[in-house]
Amino acid sequence: MNPSTFVLWILSAVLLSLQTYQTNSLVPHTGFPLAHTVRSSLISSSITTTSNCSHSDDETALSQRHAISYRSPSANDIASCLAIESASYPPDEAATLESLTYRQANAGDYFQCAVINNNDDNNDNAAIIGFVCATRCDEFAEESMSTHSPDGPLLAIHSVVVEESFRRQGIATAMLQAYLEKVEAENSDTDGSIESVVLLAKEQLLDFYRNCGFQVNGPSSIVHGEDLWYELEKRLD
């Protein structure tokens, strides 16, 4: 074998070894390409970390810093609730004074305000920074927006709103979680007559409600303003 042939033989052997090493290193023991395995792991992690609406450390610190608590509104609180509602929804979607007054008077057990604590033991005069309100219904339809059936199996949430200067601080998540915990506790202490909590949401808020335990049932047939809404449900099994 002349020197040139020997050098070419050595180079061929080295290249073959490198190709074998690279091929083996890109195929993990699962038999799937590495990229697929990493992507699957990332998807699993994202599902695990966003599967519920529990309070994070940041939200707990926030609640302690602002000393937030929750209470039912009185008739005198409706003007404050209306101001927050009107600043949170377009005119064709916001609840009216009449609607909020009706819900407070007829479904007060399902109307909960977030307030900044003061020295009043009952926080009756504390500033309202957000609220959640709902009514019960037999079926989720257009009329459920303006009526309340005390024995209805569905609890339809109409508003989840936070005053503008307190937004993007985790308050909406904490407020909705506190609301759902109250509803579930009271439902289990009675006859469990509420089967599901339902609501409408726009597409950009679907992940928020999914993270709070709701499932998306699909586009809604209910017309409320100009945009498309989706129906969501959280069963109280």
The reply to whether 7 and 74 lie within a common domain is: no
Looking up residue 185, the CATH number of its domain turns out to be 3.40.630.30
pLDDT tens for the chain, residues 1 to 237: 555 555 455 555 544 444 443 333 332 333 222 222 222 222 222 222 233 565 555 555 454 455 889 999 999 999 999 999 999 999 988 999 999 999 999 999 999 999 987 665 555 667 899 999 999 999 998 888 789 999 999 999 999 999 999 999 999 999 999 999 999 999 988 777 999 999 999 999 999 999 999 999 999 988 777 789 999 999 997
Q: Total domain count for the chain?
A: 2
Minimal CA–CA distance to 211: which of 64, 55, 97, 19? 55
The reply to whether 22 and 63 lie within a common domain is: no
The total of other beta-carbon atoms located within 10 Å of residue 131's CB is 27
- Sequence-distant (6+) residues with CB within 8 A of 219 are 228, 229, 230, 231
C-alpha distance from residue 47 to each of 50, 57, 167, 201, 207 (Å): 5, 19, 25, 21, 11
The reply to whether 184 and 125 lie within a common domain is: yes
Q: Which pTM was predicted? A: 0.71
| C-alpha gyration radius of the chain | 27
Give the torsion through C-alpha atoms of 115, 127, 132, 163, to 10 deg.
-110
